[in-house]
Amino acid sequence: MAPHEIELIEKARSGDTGAFEALVYQYDKQVLTIAARYVNSSDDAKDIYQEVFLRVYKGLKKFQLRSEFSTWIFRIATNVCLSYHSRRKRRAHVSLDQEQEVSDGEASHGVEIVSEEHSPHQQTVNAELSARVEEAMDALSPQQKIIFTLKHYQGYKLNEIALMLKCSEGTVKKQLFTAVRRLREALKEFA
Amino acid sequence: MNHKHIKELLPIFLYGDLSPDETAEVRQHLETCTECRGELESLKAFNAVLSGLPAVEVTGELLNEARQELRAALRRETVKQSLWERVAERAGKIFAPRYRFAFSAAAMLLAGVGIGYAIFYRTGFEQTKQNGMPLVSETSQNSRQSVNGGFLRGGTRTDNLHFLNLDPQSGEVEFTFDAVTPMRVKGNVNDEQVQKVMAHAIVNSDNPGVRLKTVSALAEQGEQLRDADPAVKSALITALKTDGNPGVRSEALRALMQMPFDKEIKEAVLFVLLHDKNSGMRVAAINSLELTSHEKRMSDADILRALKKKVQSDDTNYVRLQARTVLQEVSQ
């Protein structure tokens, strides 16, 4: 771990919120990007972001300096993503209307869709495909979904993903293969 | 390696994440297996479809919102960590079990005195109002005070707590700690007091985001910065020359160029031109020299010497080119 990072961790542990911010701002955009890709909703991504860094803040005192700080952050991020579905289900019990709003408002605020110009027909196809991909992704198990997101969209290496999820590389390979197979089945009419 | 296993490895083969041995085996198998070659092509097509979809990008605006919300959540979290929890936590570490009860009672008494003090009696820090703006001035900084004298006020956090004495018989304890009091200052950026706080933040804040926002707020003031507090100018020069964040240095340069171009600012700009490792900053320094009055540049040997040095020896092409352009303008 870099000496400046250790220094920031020590300061943050003693309650220096400025040091804490400087520490986490090195990784927070990646965390938000993973969350946004995982949940496809800016509001939910911000919720995940906040929970991740509150857990980091609370857990900092117990953090072992011999581990990589970034790995620890991304491990927390993946855990929060994995528990996101169950929390969302609990929320659905609280307010179905609210859940509908979340669903309707997905990818509408703050998340920018960047695309090259397409014909109206292509845009329609893309919109339909996006919806189907999202549906297929939601049908994966949380672990398969996070592994596919981290590998396919974020480009992490298998051993990095294994470290984040605290599992073996073999498990990551197996789950990735299953995720790809299930997505291909669900999207076979497009590819 | 069997056919089924190779098929399972193909998605990872495509991601380029197999070990060299596995990669060699897959390649070898592909040479002889038509079915797997077909599977690979199909996988490529599938990846192409997913890659062709519009990409989701997290905007700076969303990131800022997330950070602000996190900051508010952290503030709430910090408030939760009350004095009592902190003292109790320390007590648990320091005292043997048989002293804990006595210490807890004494600490509770001290906390009670502190809370009472916070409510009924405020000295040490004063809050006054001038021109509608609350000003914060520190009037005493005693590092060691008696319990009877009072030592806390509302919102004060403690840190760096050290025990000096413990008398198990009487339950009396003596300790020191740093009292950190959150303050909120609101006022016009051109106000002298506000500028002093900003100058302090530019030089002392550990948070690059805070430094950047503070310097940017000053840079936005344009010509009004001409009359800025000398502490601001000094802080901006320090930031320009020493801040580790190029964004802060760049904004400090922009702010300084709103001020009268005197010897101090000239030296700071030339320092950047000659020593900043960031080529963008060196170009910004040259561009800022262009903005200064023509007469000053013509007559200033230091600037001409620095520019010539850059033309001859800067390792970045664009910096050499810019320096040459400005020199040519000067000599016309």
Q: Say whether both B208 and B295 belong to one domain.
A: yes
User: What 3-state class would DSSP assign to B131?
Assistant: coil
Range of the domain at B29: 3-44
For residues B327 and B291, membership in a common domain is answered with yes
Q: Please state, in angstroms and rounded to a whole number, the distance separating the CA atoms of residues B307 and B329.
A: 12
Q: What is the DSSP letter of B54?
A: P
Residues B265, B240: Cα–Cα separation, whole Å: 10
What pLDDT was estimated at residue B313? Answer: 86
Write down how long chain A is. 191
Query: How many angstroms separate the most distant Cα atoms in chain A?
Result: 57
CA distance A99 to chain B (A): 21
Do A108 and A119 fall into the same domain? no
Contacts of B179 in chain A (CB under 8 A): none
Distance in angstroms (rounded) separating the CA atoms of residues A146 and A153: 10
User: Which string of b and e fits A117-141 if b means at least 16 CB within 10 Å?
Assistant: eeeeeeeeebeebbeebeebbeebe
Question: For the complex shown, is ipTM > 0.85?
Answer: no
Q: What is the pLDDT of residue B224?
A: 83
Instruction: Indicate which of A8, A17, A172, A183 best probes the interface with B, i.e. most B CBs within 10 Å of its own CB.
Output: A17
Torsion of CA B237, B239, B245, B249, to 10 degrees: -30
B125 and B216, same domain (yes or no): no
At residue A9, the pLDDT reads: 92
Q: How far apart are CA A176 and CA A153, in angstroms?
A: 13
Residue ending a domain, among A57, A81, A114, is A114
Same domain, yes or no: A57 and A92 = yes
Would you say residue A106 has pLDDT above 50?
no
Q: What is the pLDDT of residue B57?
A: 72
Q: Return the pLDDT at B327.
A: 80
**A7 close contact with B: CB closer than 8 A:** no
Nearest residue to B191 via CA among B228, B216, B217: B228
* A9 and A91 share one domain: yes
Q: What percent of chain A has pLDDT over 90?
A: 31
Task: Note whether B311 and B197 are same-domain residues.
Answer: yes
DSSP per-residue letters across B145-194:
--TTT----TT-EEEEEEEEEEETTTTEEEEEEEEE--------TTSHHH
- A46, B54: Cβ pair inside 8 Å? no
Same structural domain, A27 and A90: yes
Same domain, A15 and A49: yes
Helix A69-94 vs helix A42-59: crossing angle, to nearest 10: 130
- CATH code where residue B267 lies: 1.25.10.10
Residue B67: list chain A partners with CB under 8 A: 21, 25, 28
| pLDDT tens, position by position, A26-53 | 899 999 999 988 888 888 899 999 999 9
Q: What is the dihedral of CA B220, B222, B224, B228, to 10 degrees?
A: 70
Residue A40 backbone zone (phi > 0: left; psi -120 to 50: alpha; other: beta):
left
Nearest to A111 among B8, B9, B58 (CB): B58
Range of the domain at A164: 115-191
Residue B15 is encoded by which pair of tokens?
Answer: 């991601």
> CB B57 to CB A112 under 8 A?
yes
Mean pLDDT, chain A, rounded, equals 79
Q: Are residues A85 and A2 in the same domain?
A: yes
In chain A, which residues have their Cβ closer than 8 Å to the Cβ of B207?
Answer: 18-19, 21-22
pLDDT tops 60 at residue A91: no
Q: Do B74 and A20 touch (CB under 8 A)?
A: yes
Beta bridge partners of A111: B58
* The pLDDT value given to residue B25: 92
Does A57 contact B48 at a Cβ distance shorter than 8 Å? no
Asked whether residue B10 is assigned to any structural domain, the reply reads: yes
For residue B49, is it within any domain?
Answer: no
Q: Let me know whether A97 and A169 are in one domain.
A: no
pLDDT of residue B118: 46
- CB contacts, 8 Å: A47 with chain B: none
Tens digits of pLDDT across chain B (332 residues) = 578 888 888 999 988 888 899 999 999 999 999 999 998 998 888 888 787 666 567 888 888 888 888 888 887 777 666 555 555 555 555 555 555 555 555 555 555 445 444 444 443 333 333 443 333 333 334 444 444 445 555 566 766 666 566 666 677 777 677 777 777 778 888 888 888 889 988 988 878 888 898 999 998 888 888 888 888 998 999 899 888 888 899 999 999 988 888 888 988 998 898 888 888 888 888 888 776 655 555 567 888 888 888 888 888 888 888 888 888 776 66
Same-domain pairing of A108 and A120: no
Together in a domain, A39 and A105: yes
Question: Which pLDDT band, with edges at 50, 70 and 90, does A17 fall under?
Answer: confident
Mutate to test the interface with A, among B40, B50, B212 (most CBs of A within 10 A): B50
Q: Among residues A73, A97, A114, which one ends one of the domains?
A: A114
Domain-embedded: residue B51 = no
Q: Can you give the pLDDT at residue A108?
A: 34
CB of A57 within 8 Å of any CB in chain B?
yes
For tokens 């060691």, name the residue.
B144
Instruction: Give yes or no for A113 touching B (CB within 8 A).
Output: yes
- Beta-strand (E) ranges in chain B? 55-58, 125-130, 133-138, 157-167, 172-180
Q: Do residues B312 and B197 share a domain?
A: yes
Taking CB atoms and an 8 Å limit, are B67 and A190 in contact across chains?
Answer: no
* Model confidence pLDDT, tens digit, residues A109-165: 333 333 444 555 556 666 777 788 888 888 999 999 999 989 988 889 999 999 888
Residue B124 lies in a domain: yes
Query: Which CATH number is A46's domain given?
Result: 1.10.1740.10
CB contact under 8 A, B77 and A50: no
Amino acid identity at B147: V
Chosen domain end from A87, A114, A141? A114
Do residue B62 and residue A32 have CB atoms under 8 angstroms apart?
yes
- A91 and A124 part of one domain: no
CA distance B249 to B236: 8
B202 shares its domain with B321: yes
Last residue of a domain, one of B180, B206, B222: B180
Q: Could you give the number of structural domains in chain A?
A: 2
Residues B248 and B301 in one domain: yes
On whether residue B274 sits in a domain, the answer given is yes
Residues B159, A177: C-beta atoms closer than 8 Å: no
Count of domains observed in chain B: 3
Q: Domain containing A164 — which CATH number? A: 1.10.10.10
